[in-house]
Amino acid sequence: MTLKNILVHVTETAQSKLRLETAVALCVAHDAHLTGLAVRAVPELPPYSVGPIPDIILEPFEAQQNAAIAAASNLFTSTVQRAGWTDRSSWTITEGNATDIVGIFARCADLTVTGQDVSDEDQWEISTIDLVLRSGRPVLVTPHGIESAPVGKRVVVAWNASRESARAISDAMPLLETADSVDILTVAPDASGEIPGADIARHLAQHGVAANLKLLGDMGGETGSALLNYVSDTDADLLVMGAYGHSRLREYVFGGVTRHVLEAMQTPVLMSH
Average pLDDT, the chain: 84
**What tens digit of pLDDT does each residue of 192-235 get?**
556 778 899 999 999 999 999 988 765 555 788 888 999 999 99
Say if residue 31's pLDDT is above 90: yes
Q: How far apart are the first and last CA of the chain?
A: 18
Percent share of the chain, pLDDT over 90: 52
Give the residue from 271, 267, 273 showing the smallest Cα distance to 18.
267
In the prediction, which pLDDT does 118 show?
65
In the prediction, which pLDDT does 23 show?
96
Mean pLDDT of 19-48: 87
d(CA 106, CA 34): 12
Say if residue 84's pLDDT is above 80: yes
Give the residue from 272, 265, 37 showing the smallest Cα distance to 139.
272
d(CA 232, CA 266): 8
Mean pLDDT of 165-181: 95
In the prediction, which pLDDT does 42 show?
79
Question: Is residue 36 within a helix (H) or strand (E), and if so which, with residue range?
Answer: strand 33-40
Q: How far is Cα of residue 221 from the mean position of the Cα atoms in its chain? A: 24
Burial class (CB in 10 A: 0-12, 13-18, 19+), 87: exposed
Confidence (pTM) = 0.86
Report all structural domains of the chain as residue ranges with CATH numbers, in order of start: 5-142 (3.40.50.620), 154-272 (3.40.50.620)
d(CA 219, CA 149): 30
Mean pLDDT of 124-140: 83
In the prediction, which pLDDT does 168 show?
94
Q: C-alpha distances in angstroms, 217 versus 75, 214, 222?
A: 45, 9, 11
In the prediction, which pLDDT does 255 show?
42
d(CA 62, CA 190): 54
Mean pLDDT of 32-55: 76
Mean pLDDT is highest, among 44-48, 49-53, 64-68, 78-82, for: 78-82
